[in-house]
Amino acid sequence: MNIVVCVKQVPDSAAKVVAEGGRVTWGDAPLVLNPWDEFAVEAALILQEATDANVTVISVGGESTKEALKTALAMGCGQAILISDPALEGADSRAIAQVLSAAIQKIGDVDVAFFGKQAIDGDMGVTAAQTGRFLGWPVLSLASTIKLEGDKLVIERSIEEGRQIVESKLPAVISVSKDIGEPRYPSFMGIRKASRANIPVWSLADLGIHAPTPLVRWPDVVNPPAREVKTEIITGDSPQQIAEQLADKIMEEKVL
């Protein structure tokens, strides 16, 4: 069995992200493996343990993206591939999905492609679905449990109404929800292996495609309007008195 995990490198979730002149800045905060993608790596490794599969982690990005791939290698993925090409500057989600689907096809004989739910930078949450559509594979999003039963996958999906249980033939695209369980920490051996890994880089020419034309542009990014809050601290002689005052204040706001 062959498994691919598609990941993205993003600024750390604790970064102080600020827009400056229409561009996003995050100071000296580190770039990390997208937190949602850690769950995708975890799901892939759970399936690998059950099936003895090969797990390949791939990402589209610049040279620095190798660090995110190394995190996934240290967690236990078998090999990594970076897809990097200057022509992908300004690529939109659809273009990235097209590139990922071409890479998955080039890897060949892939049974399952895992994705995180969304990336914490763009918060688009469409890459798994779009990649699946390009591949023509079933898309199973927000998976909370994944089992292989014979030649089909049995998946529980976390949806608004609870859990939907779905069976799917292979190959399939799966996006993973946090319910899958806490992602494992990289092991000491894993970190050593990852630090020595030689990660191949594929260009668009290697994939045999041209840079897809972006259909969505992002002409500007701004800081949200500052929250003008004057905080009123409610005090009193007893919790009862504080509670009564606070309830009155909230009732006056007419939000209930």
Of the pair 97, 204, the CB lying nearest another protein is at 97
For 104, the token pair is 């998955």
Burial class for 254, CB neighbours closer than 10 Å (0-12, 13-18, 19+) = exposed
Of the pair 135, 194, the CB lying nearest another protein is at 135
Of the pair 188, 233, the CB lying nearest another protein is at 233
Q: Are 147 and 117 within 8 A, CB to CB?
A: no
Of the pair 56, 93, the CB lying nearest another protein is at 93
> How far does CA 114 lie from the centroid of its chain?
10
- Tokens 């600020």 locate to 18
CA proximity to 194, closest of 81, 58, 71, 84: 71
Which are the contacts of 50, defined by CB distance < 8 A and separation ≥ 6?
147, 148
**Strand 112-116 relative to strand 172-176, pairing:** parallel
DSSP designation for 187: P
Q: Considering all CA atoms of the chain, what is the largest pairwise distance in Å, rounded to the nearest integer?
A: 74
DSSP designation for 237: S
CA proximity to 59, closest of 45, 43, 77, 47: 77
Of the pair 154, 211, the CB lying nearest another protein is at 154
Which are the contacts of 95, defined by CB distance < 8 A and separation ≥ 6?
88, 211, 212, 213, 214
Considering the complex, what minimum distance in angstroms separates the CB of residue 209 from another protein? 15
- Pairwise CA distance, residues 224 & 109, whole Å: 45
Of the pair 109, 165, the CB lying nearest another protein is at 165
Of the pair 154, 197, the CB lying nearest another protein is at 154
Considering the complex, what minimum distance in angstroms separates the CB of residue 175 from another protein? 9
Considering the complex, what minimum distance in angstroms separates the CB of residue 1 from another protein? 17
